[in-house]
Amino acid sequence: MVARAEEWPWSSLATWGQPLLLPVLAVGPVSRPWDWVAYVNQPETEAERARLRYSAWRQAPFGSDSWVERTAAALGLESSLRPAGRPRRTAPDSRQPSLFPTES
């Protein structure tokens, strides 16, 4: 267990503070805020933790709702946003005849 994220041995976070090592890292598609290290070290809320777990479990994008929807559509990941499993069956329509009538 480490006290700060940049102390984790496999994290690139400490490298962001060393300009000579930055060319080794990809900048990424989204710019980081000026207080990136402080942001990363903030504990997440229970709601954020639940969304992170869901995102990892379903292989779904993680972010704001609008960004997630746009990204899922762009990458063909819409199925990762729907509930897992088969849809629940709706109640049978009483107007349609049953294939297996019950005895009265």
Interval 77-87: pLDDT, tens: 999 988 888 87
Taking alpha carbons only, the member of 78, 80, 18 closest to residue 54 is 80
User: Looking at per-residue confidence, does 96 or 82 come out higher?
Assistant: 82
Cα–Cα dist 27/16, whole Å: 10
- The separation between CA 89 and the C-alpha centre of its own chain, rounded to angstroms, equals 28
Cβ contact 63:71 at 8 Å: yes
- Look up tokens 């060393």; give the residue: 18
Per-residue pLDDT reduced to its tens digit, 7-48: 888 887 877 766 665 566 676 777 788 888 898 899 889 999
Say whether pTM exceeds 0.75.
no
Mean pLDDT for 86-90 is 80
**Two tokens, residue 67:** 């960004």
